[in-house]
Structure 1
Amino acid sequence: MEGDGWRDIKVVRNPYFSLRIVPTVVPMRYLELAQLYQRLEKTTLKTLKTRLVADFLKKVPNDLLEIIPYLILGDVFPEWDERELGVGEKLLIRAVSMATGVDAKEIENSVKETGDLGESVALAIKKRKQRSFFSQPLTIKRVYDTLVKVAEISGEGSQDKKLKYLANLFMDAEPIEAKYLARTILGIMRTGVAEGILRDAIAEAFHVKVELVERAYMLTSDFGFVTKVAKLEGNEGLAKVTIQVGKPIKPMLAQQAASIKDALLEMGGEAEFEIKYDGARVQVHKDGDRIIVYSRRLENVTRSIPEVVERLKRAIKAEKAIVEGELVAVGEDGRPLPFQYVLRRFRRKYNIEEMIEKIPLELNLFDVLYVGGKALIDEPFIERRKTLEGIIEADGWIKVAENLITKSVEEAESFYRKALGMGHEGLMAKRLDSVYEPGNRGKKWLKIKPTMENLDLVIIGAEWGEGRRAHVFGSFILGAYDPHTGEFVEVGKVGSGFTDEDLIEFTKMLKRLITKEEGKRVWFEPKVVIEVTYQEIQKSPKYRSGFALRFPRYVALRDDKGPEDADTIERIAQLYELQERMKGKKIA
């Protein structure tokens, strides 16, 4: 009966009639979720966070299983869902003001004092001047359904409608509920629960294998779906989970090789070499005339590249397929532009036609994961490549990535020089027998580039600038993920490479993520990823990570990546070893 939303049974005894059992529907209250957030926020222990989430999942009724995981993460929808709440801090404060009667300016001033909008909203709720006679306790379903409505409102008067929906929620919220509701709406939960903790909690709650939870999530990128399968079907159900058109697959990743010779040795003496394009990786899902394009971060970017979508409808001959490739911006001279140009296309939501003219895109496809109702990820790469070539009708803008299969170091090096001469980054080397391993960064795919790999790191802190930059952050503390502790640990500080405009933009972006202030230094919730270059990686006792970047320099904001996509301490250790090997070869 729990699956039908019933969480209690009421036994009624009537002296005039026989015993009756009356089911009483008790919807799960949002207060229970808010109390979980509070407990999670009070501990830094990964094991305790996992247990708290697992215990909560055990009591979630079946009809909420698909939405609870994302709410626990502080989201409403998966990253690949197009829907966005579209609510900023000012609109949220107006909604709280409308619900409480507390002046918006007073709430804004409170935020400046507390440094936490959620806490200031809770304070406003405590000052609420009156409560509706028809007030009802908030349920998780009501909160979720209302936020869905907020996300789906569009057109004239949409902001006013959003305001009313949110005010109605805050009108019935307890202070603790309002605190975490506000954080959810703005995407700043701060409970320290990320994908790894949620994955482990699902396994613990429903006594299933963590590797099966991981596999199912890598194939569907849908924790809601995975949670439901884990509870209702157990290990057997998780083992049967497969690719679904419309749900993005976590991309397989590559390591860097020291040289073409090293890459060939690692590949067993023969490999497929592809041009490594300096663009943005995308995953394309086709179902009839419907095309969905996901970024590397699995965000739906379909609407921002309509001309590519139209070409894909004609280029992919299969009725249903999932293919991967690299979107490259092309300059007037036909040479590739830096990948930031593609990101500009992804960010553009208005005047898209103008951007099509300014930044034309070409798509170089390199893999196929699904076609004609069959998942191909367990087939050897060489067979997937043949299938890809058979289903793509190239048109000059959509094409299959240029490649070379060889055992010869000399042939591969000639192809490498050709790629660099065309303005590309280098080459990819792939084992001919390699299966596709979603989310894995192994040695079956290797990158060969003329320089050390740049790092994608998370901004975990900053220091206020000085002089004319005193009102903005002047430098940023960089963190890499430590899988052993579940934390982002410091690997250095970057202050060069930023323009004044960059610093203003980053200050606005990061202010709402502040978790702690210590004099001139502030700490953030790890959300923002940037790409940095550096002179070298050094061993360092100064940082918990054990490593430090020498002369790091900002390259770009990677808003196509989330913190879960950033480089880890293990990755930095691998690059350090590679760096030392490359040094040895230069000396030799």
Structure 2
Amino acid sequence: MRYAELAGLYTELEKTTLKTLKTRLVSDFLKRTPDELLNVVPYLVLGKVFPDWDERELGVGEKLLMKAVSTATGISEREIENSVKDTGDLGESVALALKRKKQRSFFSQPLTIKRVYETFVKVAEVSGSGSQEKKLKYLANIFMDAEPTEGKYLARTVLGTMRTGVAEGLMRDAIASAFGVRAELVERAYMLTSDFGYVARTAKERGDEGLEMVEIQVGKPIRPMLAQVAASVKEALGEMGGKAAFEIKYDGARVQVHKDSDRVTIYSRRLENVTRSIPDTVEAVKEAIKADSTIVEGELVAVGEDGRPRPFQYVLRRFRRKYNIDEMIKKIPLELNLFDVLYAEGKGTIDLQFAERRKILESTVHENGSVKLAKQLVTDEPNEAEKFYHEALELGHEGLMAKRLDAVYEPGNRGKKWLKIKPTMEDLDLVIIGAEWGEGRRAHVLGSFLIAAYDPEQGRFLPVGKVGSGFTDEDLLEFTKTLKPLIVHEEGKYVEIEPKIVIEVTYQEIQRSPKYQSGFALRFPRYVAMREDKSPEEADTLERIAQLYDFQEKFKAKR
């Protein structure tokens, strides 16, 4: 299958904002995709090369990409760089460079999807001395044979800046339409495996029956179950039917631990493989969990010298570290607090009640200094739970989680079977979709940001406010550097940003607003932190904001 066909799909997707038309375009493309490419095409359509949980990454920045295009075309890197200033998009500038190509290969041949994917694999897997030169060579070879439109989308795929508006929900619907299967079964299979390639192949080869038989696989992360908010311990007990399991809500990074014999793999909440950055936790897990095959879930907490928890950003610093890891282990020791088991000794456990899963977890984990069971209290007494709540806060934790004892684990679902109890209104994780250049001494940096909630039904991000406070000068410089490659359109001081970056925002209250399409606006929003552990699709949803608004109004009425 020619890569030009995929480039044609990208082009058509960019022309429309209609979700129904995008779904049909992707569905039709999947129908004609050869079986041997179904593993990879869904991710290429999404603008990726590998699933998020695959530890391989291309590791190619703009400079190396421009050098590869320069090598392939004979156009200087400076010319390409100047072109980007005019087009605002390196992909468009690559297309222009290919149109002006000064050199042709006698052995040029049309690009295929297979060749492009295999080249990307080589780029991702090369390592050691001379790896940058090899990456350059691999990329230059495919750009030599690329037509301008192909080069545009090759560049965007390499940089992760595809702008076709295809999100996970749309891919789910496209797979269901392409192979005549039920969308809810596609959703279930994806929630269990986080692998659209596997799901698409299963849907085509085995239909609904095959999707119904999809099971949890050690080594492929499961989409995490999510929680809603309760105003108080008393309200949580009421929602839980009068009795609940209360657990400490740790201020850490949620992780999923897969153990298969001696192999331990750890995934972040965003389902990225963070195993290499936390070898101390890996060894602690091997010591604490003797089971041959299991998947457990917990909260990874950074611990200070006084034994108290440090903010979760410290854990993210550990995740990002690729070099001098031993030094970071000493600076930021970690503690893993496990709260659930999703797979044990050859069988998924998500359909078991939470009380039963907790027993399995307790029999699976032998606590040590770095791996512990989340502290838990099962009670029907509000006063007892309230006391536990205040103990958690005094220890420096965020609050409590309340969990229904009879609840099954529902991957990807945010329901009332788990409730968070915190002393303040919950911060929101929102996506940057626009920004404005600053003024005066900040004229060279982006100074305020349009933030949006996710609408999963439409696959869109709807604005809920602008945030311009809470940032240091260093933050703004870093944000400008990160967001510049994601600028889609620029008009005067305002720039439209591709929705890629998630930030945590605090605020005074949520208000109804006719100004924004979402219908809501945050009053006095303030930046708290980057949420590198979350993908845009994991940002807080419009439904979530509506729930918090209702919760806020009920709370006001009680005062």
- TM-score, structure 2 as length reference: 1.00
Matched, 1:198 2:164: no
Find the counterpart in structure 1 of residue 36 from structure 2. Answer: 63
Give the Cα–Cα distance (whole angstroms) in 2 for the partners of residues 233 and 385 of structure 1: 35
Which one of 488, 491, 495 corresponds to residue 515 of structure 1? Answer: 488
Matched, 1:280 2:253: yes
Secondary structure (helix, strand or coil) at the match of 1:326 reads strand
CA contact (8 A) 1:219 1:243 kept: yes
Find the counterpart in structure 2 of residue 410 from structure 1. Answer: 383
CA contact (8 A) 1:282 1:295 kept: yes
Alpha-carbon distance, 1:353 to partner:
0.5
Find the counterpart in structure 2 of residue 260 from structure 1. Answer: 233
Find the counterpart in structure 1 of residue 122 from structure 2. Answer: 149
Give the Cα–Cα distance (whole angstroms) in 2 for the partners of residues 555 and 407 of structure 1: 36
Describe how 1:100-115 pairs up with structure 2 within 5 A: 100-115=73-88
What is the letter of the counterpart of residue 489 of structure 1? L
Give the Cα–Cα distance (whole angstroms) in 2 for the partners of residues 486 and 311 of structure 1: 40
Give the Cα–Cα distance (whole angstroms) in 1 for the partners of residues 488 and 29 of structure 2: 25
Find the counterpart in structure 1 of residue 318 from structure 2. Answer: 345
Find the counterpart in structure 1 of residue 137 from structure 2. Answer: 164
C-alpha offsets along residues 82-112 of structure 1, whole Å, 9 cap, x if unaligned? 0010100010001000001111100000001
Secondary structure (helix, strand or coil) at the match of 2:221 reads coil
Provide structure 2 residue ranges, at least 5 long, that are not aligned to the other structure. Answer: none
What is the letter of the counterpart of residue 544 of structure 1? Q
Which one of 316, 331, 346 corresponds to residue 289 of structure 2? Answer: 316
Alpha-carbon distance, 1:396 to partner:
2.4
Which one of 464, 487, 491 corresponds to residue 460 of structure 2? Answer: 487
C-alpha offsets along residues 489-524 of structure 1, whole Å, 9 cap, x if unaligned? 110000101011100000010000111112100011
Find the counterpart in structure 2 of residue 207 from structure 1. Answer: 180
Secondary structure (helix, strand or coil) at the match of 1:208 reads coil
What is the letter of the counterpart of residue 548 of structure 2? L
C-alpha offsets along residues 441-483 of structure 1, whole Å, 9 cap, x if unaligned? 0000000000011000000000000001000000000011123
Give the Cα–Cα distance (whole angstroms) in 2 for the partners of residues 332 and 160 of structure 1: 44
Which one of 208, 213, 221 corresponds to residue 248 of structure 1? Answer: 221
CA contact (8 A) 1:322 1:369 kept: yes
Give the Cα–Cα distance (whole angstroms) in 2 for the partners of residues 164 and 262 of structure 1: 62
Secondary structure (helix, strand or coil) at the match of 1:107 reads helix
Find the counterpart in structure 2 of residue 15 from structure 1. Answer: none
C-alpha offsets along residues 55-84 of structure 1, whole Å, 9 cap, x if unaligned? 000000000000000000000000000001
Which segment is superposed worse, 476-485 or 71-80?
A: 476-485
Give the Cα–Cα distance (whole angstroms) in 1 for the partners of residues 283 and 199 of structure 2: 33
Alpha-carbon distance, 1:362 to partner:
0.3
What is the letter of the counterpart of residue 254 of structure 1? A
What is the letter of the counterpart of residue 179 of structure 1? K
Find the counterpart in structure 2 of residue 447 from structure 1. Answer: 420
Find the counterpart in structure 2 of residue 122 from structure 1. Answer: 95
Give the Cα–Cα distance (whole angstroms) in 2 for the partners of residues 165 and 291 of structure 1: 32
CA contact (8 A) 1:138 1:172 kept: yes
Secondary structure (helix, strand or coil) at the match of 1:542 reads coil
Matched, 1:327 2:318: no
C-alpha offsets along residues 97-141 of structure 1, whole Å, 9 cap, x if unaligned? 000111110000000100010010000000111211111100000
- TM-score, structure 1 as length reference: 0.95
Find the counterpart in structure 2 of residue 178 from structure 1. Answer: 151
CA contact (8 A) 2:169 2:457 kept: no
Describe how 1:553-568 pairs up with structure 2 within 5 A: 553-568=526-541
Give the Cα–Cα distance (whole angstroms) in 2 for the partners of residues 152 and 316 of structure 1: 31
Matched, 1:235 2:205: no
Describe how 1:487-506 pairs up with structure 2 within 5 A: 487-506=460-479
Find the counterpart in structure 1 of residue 363 from structure 2. Answer: 390
Give the Cα–Cα distance (whole angstroms) in 2 for the partners of residues 402 and 87 of structure 1: 43
Number of residue-to-residue matches in the alignment? 559
Give the Cα–Cα distance (whole angstroms) in 2 for the partners of residues 82 and 483 of structure 1: 26
Give the Cα–Cα distance (whole angstroms) in 1 for the partners of residues 408 and 459 of structure 2: 29
C-alpha offsets along residues 406-432 of structure 1, whole Å, 9 cap, x if unaligned? 000000000001000100000000000
Which one of 539, 542, 567 corresponds to residue 512 of structure 2? Answer: 539
Larger radius of gyration: 1
Matched, 1:296 2:269: yes
CA contact (8 A) 1:258 1:581 kept: no
Matched, 1:572 2:548: no
Provide structure 1 residue ranges, at least 5 long, that are not aligned to the other structure. Answer: 1-27
Which one of 339, 342, 361 corresponds to residue 366 of structure 1? Answer: 339
Secondary structure (helix, strand or coil) at the match of 1:268 reads coil
Q: CA RMSD in A?
A: 0.6
Find the counterpart in structure 2 of residue 380 from structure 1. Answer: 353
Find the counterpart in structure 2 of residue 5 from structure 1. Answer: none
Give the Cα–Cα distance (whole angstroms) in 1 for the partners of residues 327 and 490 of structure 2: 43
Secondary structure (helix, strand or coil) at the match of 1:512 reads helix
Give the Cα–Cα distance (whole angstroms) in 2 for the partners of residues 122 and 447 of structure 1: 50
Alpha-carbon distance, 1:484 to partner:
4.0
Give the Cα–Cα distance (whole angstroms) in 2 for the partners of residues 315 and 248 of structure 1: 20
